Amino acid sequence: MRSSVHRFTLTDPGNISPLAEAIDRGDLDPATIVAVIGKTPGNGLVNDYTRGYLTQSLALLIGEHTGTPWQQIIKQIPFIFSGGTEGVLTPHITVFCAEPGGRSDGRPTLAIATAFTPVLPTQAIGGKAQALATADAVRAAMTSAAIEDPADVHFVQVKGPCLTGGQIAEATAAGITVAGGTADKSMALSRVASAFGVALALGEIREDQLDESTFLEDFSLYSSVASCSSGIEVSCNEIVLLGNSRQWAGDCHISHRPMADALDIGALYGLLNDLNIDPATLTTSPGQSPIAAAFVKCEADRRGLIRGQPHTMLNDGDMNQQRHIRGAVGGIAAAVLADTRIFVSGGAEHQGPDGGGIVTAIARKPESSA
Residues designated catalytic: 159, 229
Please state the three-class secondary structure of the chain as a single string: CEEEEEEEECCCCCCCHHHHHHHHHCCCCHHHEEEEEEEECCCCCCCCCHHHHHHHHHHHHHHHHHCCCHHHHHHHCCEEEEECCCCCCCCEEEEEEEECCCCCCCCCEEEEEEEECCCCCHHHCCCHHHHHHHHHHHHHHHHHCCCCCHHHEEEEEEEEECCCHHHHHHHHHCCCCCCCCCHHHHHHHHHHHHHHHHHHHCCCCCHHHCCHHHCCCCCCCCECCEEEEEECCCCCCEEEEEEEECCCECCEEEEEEEECCCCCHHHHHHHHHHCCCCHHHCCCCCCCCCEEEEEEEECCCCCCEECCEECCHHHCCCCCHHHHHHHHHHHHHHHHHCCCCCEEECCCCCECCCCCEEEEEEEECHHHCC
**Count of alpha carbons within 13 angstroms of residue 84, beta-carbon side:** 27
- Cross-strand pairs, 168: none
> How many angstroms separate the CA atoms of 91 and 156, rounded?
21
Long-range pairs of 265-270 with CB within 8 A, sequence gap ≥ 24: 265/332, 265/336, 267/359, 268/332, 268/333, 268/336, 268/337, 268/359, 269/336
The residue type found at 358 is I
